[in-house]
Amino acid sequence: MVAVDDSRKRWFDEAAGPVARPYAVTGGRTRTGGIDLDLVTLVVSVEPTTHAQRVDTESAQLLWVCEHPLSVAEAAAGVRLPLRVVKVLLSDLIRHRYMLYQTGLRPASVPNLNTMQKVLDGLRAL
Amino acid sequence: MVSARSDRRTPPPAPSGLSLDATTLKILVSGGFGVGKTTMVGSVSEIVPLRTEETITEASVGVDDLTGIEGKTTTTVALDFGRITIDASLILYLFGTPGQDRFWFMWDELASGALGAVVLADTRRLQSCFAAVDFFERRGIPFVIGVNCFDGTQPYTADEVRAALDVPPHVPIQLCDARERDSTKRLLINLVQHVMTQSGL
């Protein structure tokens, strides 16, 4: 997606399988290169006004959509692209430091008592 | 390509004051097709449920295929989800699983790290939620069963549903109305309490 990205030259990786149209956006790539993005990982763009001009349309849309912290799932819904495509674009943006993401915070299966109590109180107050 | 401001899409409203180190939690709402999962998500969500899609690649089994390409099929699975901002440091996401129900079970990421699940059951076709019950049992994900009362009526008791579904006594079963905010709220509170009990909190 970014002009300087070498991986752009390699159109398909081994997981691409048959050419699926949504992946044309990512140059056929389906991997995020070790950047661990869950559905509920929060991401936020860095100076979208500057960086949106340096990337392709879809990535620019992602930068605008993520002006404020947003989950990966919300970002995907915002740009109307499949999740895996959005993750590849996000991982490129993260590598270029155009986007920040929540590191090391996989959703914990069982959060601590304090968090659970907050969830309970929050639900009761709805 | 130069991207002007006109490229902007309408972003889903972001929770105000949210920081990147906020805790995000996942709760799944599943069950058979047409049982009211998205309705339930929408009944408590602070945003109109959003939709996102994932493509799942299925490798064919037993195909002697050196290229690894021909033996794959791709399926699109849609997810509707909503959000409850508890406060600026804690957000709950509810994911419903409409569409091709038999495929979302292949989506490991969806269940990974999920706090728990609501299995919505429709007593007119109880078997349609068997797969979801199996899925969460096998993965050790705590779940509660919501028996959706269409038209406000429900010919069976919770115990009768429990017997029919063959779930152990510790799994909460609750009659509910997926359209009603208070009903969904009670179901979620029940789930969170169940998760706490199960994990010894």
Which of the pair, A23 or B135, is modelled with greater confidence? Answer: B135
Average pLDDT, stretch B123-128? 86
CB A54 within 8 A of CB A3: yes
B185 to chain A, minimum CA–CA distance in Å? 6
What does DSSP say about strands B143-148 and B116-121: parallel, antiparallel, or unpaired?
Answer: parallel
Nearest CA in chain B to A119: B86
A1 to chain B, minimum CA–CA distance in Å? 10
To the nearest whole number, what is the mean pLDDT of chain B? 82
- Which two three-digit tokens encode residue B16? 């105000």
Query: Tokens 């299925």 correspond to what residue?
Result: B58
Nearest CA in chain A to B16: A68
Of A42, A74, A113, the CB nearest to B201: A113
Q: Which of A31-35, B37-41, B145-149, B158-162 has the lowest mean pLDDT?
A: A31-35
Residue B6, pLDDT above cutoff 50: no
ipTM above 0.90, yes or no: no
Average pLDDT, stretch B28-57? 89
How would you write chain B as a 3-class SS string? CCCCHHHCCCCCCCCCCCCCCCEEEEEEEEECCCCCHHHHHHHHCCCCCEEEEEEEEEECCCCCCCCCCCCEEEEEEEEEEEEEEEECCEEEEEEECCCCHHHHCCCHHHHCCCCEEEEEECHHHHHHHHHHHHHHHHHCCCEEEEEECHHHCCCCCHHHHHHHHCCCCCCCEEEECCCCHHHHHHHHHHHHHHHHHHCCC
State whether residue A55 sits within 8 Å of chain B by CB. yes
Q: What are the strands of the beta sheet with B90-96, ordered from one edge?
A: B50-59, B72-87, B90-96, B23-31, B116-121, B143-148, B173-176
Residue type (1 letter), B95: F
- Picking from B55, B60, B195 by the largest number of A CB atoms within 10 A of its own CB, the best residue to mutate is B55
Phi, psi of B79 (to 5 degrees): -130, 130
Neighbours of B97 (CB within 10 A): 25
- Which two three-digit tokens encode residue A58? 């879809």
Structure confidence at residue A95 (pLDDT): 95
Residue A14, pLDDT above cutoff 80: no
Residues in chain A with CB shorter than 8 Å from the CB of B8 are 61, 64-65
Structure confidence at residue B66 (pLDDT): 45
Burial of A45 from C-beta contacts in 10 A (0-12 / 13-18 / 19+): buried
Of B7, B55, B93, the CB nearest to A22: B55
Residue B10, pLDDT above cutoff 60: no
State whether residue A111 sits within 8 Å of chain B by CB. yes
Return d(Cα B161, Cα B42) in angstroms, integer. Answer: 25
State whether residue A20 sits within 8 Å of chain B by CB. yes
Structure confidence at residue B60 (pLDDT): 47
Handedness of CA B12, B15, B21, B23 (dihedral sign): negative
A118/B90 CB distance under 8 A: yes
CB B2 within 8 A of CB A53: yes
State whether residue A44 sits within 8 Å of chain B by CB. yes
In sequence order, the β-bridge partners of residue B27 are B94, B116
Maximum alpha-carbon separation in chain A? 53
pTM (whole model) above 0.80? yes
- State which of A102-111, B94-103, B139-148 shows the largest mean pLDDT: B139-148
A110/B115 CB distance under 8 A: yes
Neighbours of B13 (CB within 10 A): 13
Structure confidence at residue B4 (pLDDT): 41
In sequence order, the β-bridge partners of residue B50 are B81
Residue B131, pLDDT above cutoff 90: no
Residue A71, pLDDT above cutoff 80: yes
Residue A4, pLDDT above cutoff 50: no
Average pLDDT, stretch A90-114? 84
Of B1, B12, B69, the CB nearest to A57: B1
Kindly report, residue by residue over B50-88, the tens digit of the pLDDT: 998 887 766 544 444 445 445 566 777 888 999 999 999
B9/A79 CB distance under 8 A: yes
Structure confidence at residue A89 (pLDDT): 96
Residues in chain A with CB shorter than 8 Å from the CB of B72 are 17-18
